[in-house]
Chain A
Amino acid sequence: MARFIFRSVISTIVTMFLVSLALFLLVEVGSGDITVKILGVFATPEQRASYRAQLGLDQPWYIRYLDWLVGNDWRVRSRIGHPLVAVPNPQTKELEWWAQVDGQLVRWEMREGHLFALVRQPDGSVLEQPADDQWQQTPEGKEIFWGVNTKNSAVKWVRGEGEEVYVLTSAGMRKEGDGPQQYIPLRKGLLRGDPGTSLQTGRPVSVTLFPRVRNTAILAGMAFVVVMPLALILGIIAGINEGRLVDRAISVSSLALTATPEFVTGVFLILIFGIWLKIVPAVSVFLSDRAIFENPQLLILPILTLTAVELGYIVRMTRASMVEVMNAPYIRTAILKGLPYWQVVLRHAVRNALMAPITVIMLHVNWLVGGIVVVEAVFGFPGLGSYIFDSAIFGDFNAIEAAAMLLVSIAVFTRLVGDLLYTFLNPRIRYS
């Protein structure tokens, strides 16, 4: 058993690595210029180039992939010459990068040709000090400085370099040429628990992904709890009553439900119960972050739709399996032996008949979590499926990767659970 689990874990890790690499390459090839989506179509090429550099997109893909996987603070550290630490901002709680200089947290800023060190005080405020003495001479005679800027990037400033510098009349405006020459957005990497910043939202992926995963987990969980017992019971009833009226009724209605696509079922449910009768909310309008708890009736129609789609599939699978088992010689023997009918069904038949449906059910868990984009679109449900869809359309690599990694883990985990269930249902596997 231990070996079995060990093997599963190893193969999981390899799978996840390959998926992340494949996805990275797909997004790399498939998505257009990300700055078009962020800055709009009307930004100038220079503005785009500058923004790409600020996002670190001027690096080759393998560097960016490594950054994503294991982070880059350890790599950048040697250039800055101080350890880099990520500490939460006292107000927003989002992580901010600082360099640790002599026990103090420092970032830098360049204004009007002068370098300033921003030293974080214990109370969270920032003290500004001139830092023009920190410029480093390069062999070519330039003065450069590597530091951490206020936007969480390691940046290289070159003194006095850039376009022609002109003096601005207003206070506080940065001159041209004060901008860094190179940016390396700092990150810890996924393996150290940081999935990065979403390009689409500009916020950490973990912040935006969590509510979506939670919503989907609740929807999928509720749907699962409703569908699975119902489907199994109906399937078993149909199976043991093969050919009778009750079997026909169950089979035909479940076939009809499954054959109707979810966008049709969903729209009809919305029209009838949401708009015409107005007894339940028509679509999933989440007016607050906790709407799913404050207003759980929002879930009724999506769950009904998912039930309609899922039910027939599993009913028919269970029924077929049940029919096969009930015709097996050992069941006939058991019945002829005089065991009570319900005992034969529950003790002997159901266990064997559930093998096939369990596989299907476990596959469907994954589908319920990530694949119900259609249902999410029909109801406007803010779930993981639409999150992945939107991220993919945008080319938001960090978000796609994080969501995909999550789905892969769920897939692998459900497979593991499925395997364990098998061994419980079928002792023969246990000893092989």
Chain B
Amino acid sequence: MKDQRTGKRLHPAILDAQSALRQGRISRREFMRFATLLGASVATATALAACGPAAPTEAPTEAPTEGAAPETSTPAGSVGGIKRGGTLRKAMQLQRIDHPARMSWVEAANVVRQVAEYLTVTGPDNITRPYLLESWEASDDVQTWTLNLRKGITFNNGDELTADDVIFTFSQWLDEDVGSSMLGLISYWGGIENVEKVDDYTIRLHLESPNIAVPEHLFHYPAVILHRDFEGDFIKQPVGTGAFTLAEYAEGERAVLKRREDYWRMGEDGQPLPYLDEIIYVAIDKDAAVAAIQSGQIDSIYQPRPSDWLALKDIPGIAVHSASTAQCFLVRVRVDLEPWDDNRVRTALKKCQDREKILQLSYFGEGDLSIDAHVAPVHPEYCEQPIPPYDPEGARALLEEYAAEKGIELPLKVTLATKNDEAEPEIAQALKELAEPAGFDIALDITEPNGYWDRWTEVDLGITAWTHRPLGIMVLPLAYIADEEGNPVPWNETRWVDEEFTTLLRKAERTLDVEARREIMCDLETIMQERGPIGNSYWKKVWNITREEFKNVVAHPTSYDLLYEVWKDA
């Protein structure tokens, strides 16, 4: 079968998935995600999905959680009523930017992404689609990926985008001296020598080990496509294919972006995007920003904190959009240290989580409750499992057994380290009190964020914030396995390595079929719940808070600013 739009062969697994959809085993949303993941264009996937069932499974809203509903629907009156022009002013910190491949902040990426673009895009619905790519194709063993570049895209300096630019960008990611976080992420590529230039618009990746997350990785925030002559400082050379040009960038002050006339994507009115004339990012303190958005001096705030959300959610003229994410605050233990090397103690601590209460106390209830596994409901392969209840008696029984064996007295004294940031101190405090009846005596060690990041992999009990990743199988290999020599991988903050878990995970990483992968994920989740090193009370929501006159505004799970299609109704 061929993709109707591009005439390319469809991946056989897509057809399997289509039959799964027909039988109602997966939802339409999951099918879309899966099909586009394997290189079908969205149009084709939609067509295939339509060939699917007249389905009871096809719920009116495709989103798994209520919070994601508003931004997937088109705001009323936007079709045909689009107005052009206007400036969006947004409060956001502006850090140093030099080499985009080296960006370590989403804020910096939000500026750069208006000027330069990615090969793929993971939308607010957590589906990844081709972007600068026309399409991609994966071989059946997902070890060879062919990337087909869209033709006729020009950089803002007039040059056409070709495979040379893409390969140059790849080489920058893979160059140790650049210091890109992409290097670790795409280590499975096996180096730049495995990148083959087929022709000016086709690139083939011969991966060292199979991986199904290539499209997602291509949208990792440092992964913008650079011009082949890029010399290492984006502020001096702001060349990209994006819809805006960088007019001014002053670190810690402001960034001014102006509309480009000849951008390749068209708006609904048939003219090139973007609709806005100008975007200005201003670096002001969050508290000042809350006052500024109310007084109308700015229009939006980057990544509002819970307190900002609380202050602004009911103010007329200001719209709050929210999105469910896979961002979480993990209570994690070092399993190579006492007492956490004993699974009874770990399990006891997990039982001490009154998830609903922790969510209410630390995040105003704005999240989705979680099981004690690092896979979120927004991940396609998530396997639904019951939320464990608060069980201090059960925890106490386990601890007493442990104490009797070790000949020690309860309460068990432990120190919980975390950073004084978003919700961590509240979680720590709540856990301290919830765990007391179980026989834990938790001392709190709360430092400034940087103080914690200096030692996050070293503390024996800590709360670590983890960011969103689009696929479940993208997170687990980062933190819960060992490398080839058997040492825990660098981000394995818990040192937890489980043979059965690793084997299953390796299998899941090569399993294309979402349903089959979910079955493996069920086991992975069970293992993590039974003997894993983390407790996880909830997945937080993120908000996008913008003044009402801006339309087509979406909340992105990773707070990416997708602004090309935003327009101002003024």
Interface residues of A, Cβ cutoff 8 Å to B? 32-33, 36-44, 46-47, 50-51, 91-92, 150-151, 166-174, 176, 179, 198, 200-203, 208, 211, 270-271, 274-275, 278, 281-289, 377-380, 382, 386-387, 390, 393
Contact = CB atoms under 8 A, between A and B. Distances in A.
Interface string B160-183: 000010011011100111010101
Nearest to A32: B454
Interface string B244-257: 00001011111010
Interface centre among B91, B176, B179, B287 (most CB of A within 10 A): B179
B104 interface: yes
Contacts of A208: 250-252
Given A168-B171, A285-B284, A285-B297, A43 B291 contact: no
Contacts of A387: 252
Contacts of A172: 168, 171, 228
Contacts of B296: 278
B297 to A, nearest CB: 4
Contacts of B363: none
B407 to A, nearest CB: 40
A52 to B, nearest CB: 11
B175 A174 contact: yes
Contacts of B219: none
A380 B284 contact: yes
B294 interface: yes
Contacts of B168: 170-173
Contact of A40 (B181, B231, B251): B181
B105 interface: yes
A152 to B, nearest CB: 12
Contacts of A283: 284, 288-289, 291-292, 295, 297
A263 to B, nearest CB: 9
Contacts of A282: 291-292, 294-295, 297
B453 A377 contact: no
Instruction: Give the 8 A-B residue pairs with the shortest CB-CB distance, closest first.
Output: A40-B104, A380-B288, A380-B284, A282-B295, A201-B251, A173-B171, A47-B179, A283-B288
A46 B291 contact: no
Contacts of B297: 281-283, 285
Given A173-B168, A379-B288, A51 B179 contact: yes
B192 interface: yes
B454 A200 contact: no
A278 B291 CA distance: 11
B284 A42 contact: no
A158 to B, nearest CB: 15
Interface of B: 89, 91, 95-96, 98, 102, 104-105, 164, 167-168, 170-172, 175-177, 179, 181, 183-184, 191-193, 195-197, 228, 231-233, 236, 248, 250-254, 256, 280, 282-285, 287-289, 291-292, 294-298, 450-451, 453-454, 456, 490-491
A306 to B, nearest CB: 16
A67 B254 CA distance: 31
Contacts of B183: 44, 47
B167 A285 contact: no
A380 B250 contact: no
Contacts of B197: 169-170
A172 B295 CA distance: 50
Given A282-B292, A380-B292, A43 B104 contact: yes
Interface centre among B289, B292, B298 (most CB of A within 10 A): B292
Nearest to B490: A44
Given A174-B177, A179-B177, A287 B294 contact: no
Given A38-B96, A275-B295, A382 B253 contact: yes
12 contacts: A32-B450, A50-B179, A168-B193, A170-B195, A198-B251, A202-B251, A278-B296, A282-B297, A287-B254, A379-B288, A380-B289, A393-B450
Given A43-B179, A169-B196, A282-B295, 14 more contacts: A32-B454, A36-B450, A41-B453, A50-B177, A166-B191, A166-B193, A172-B168, A172-B171, A270-B295, A275-B294, A285-B288, A286-B282, A287-B254, A390-B252
B280 A287 contact: yes
A200 B295 contact: no
A36 B200 CA distance: 38
A423 B499 CA distance: 84
Contacts of B298: 285
A51 B104 CA distance: 14
B246 to A, nearest CB: 14
B33 to A, nearest CB: 27
Contacts of A203: 251
A274 B295 contact: yes
Nearest to B163: A170
Nearest to A91: B236
Contact of B287 (A171, A211, A378, A382): A378
A171 B195 CA distance: 12
B287 A377 contact: yes
Contact of B184 (A44, A167, A379): A44
A95 to B, nearest CB: 14
Contacts of A202: 96, 98, 233, 251
A380 B94 CA distance: 14
Nearest to A31: B450
A42 B469 CA distance: 15
A47 B173 CA distance: 12
Contact of B253 (A50, A92, A286): A286
Contacts of A42: 104, 181, 184, 491
B454 A33 contact: yes
Contact of A39 (B89, B102, B231): B102
A201 B171 contact: no
Contacts of A37: 450
B251 A171 contact: no
A168 B195 CA distance: 10
A18 B170 CA distance: 49
A33 B251 CA distance: 21
Contacts of A285: 89, 91, 282, 284, 288, 292, 297-298
Contacts of A36: 450, 453-454
B53 to A, nearest CB: 43
A32 B454 CA distance: 8
Contacts of B291: 270-271, 274-275, 282-283
A278 B3 CA distance: 57
Interface centre among A166, A201, A274, A286 (most CB of B within 10 A): A201
B176 A201 contact: no
Given A42-B491, A200-B96, A287 B285 contact: no
B96 A43 contact: no
Contacts of A198: 251
Nearest to A37: B450
Contacts of A286: 253-254, 282
Interface centre among A46, A170, A174, A287 (most CB of B within 10 A): A170
Contacts of B177: 50, 174, 176, 179
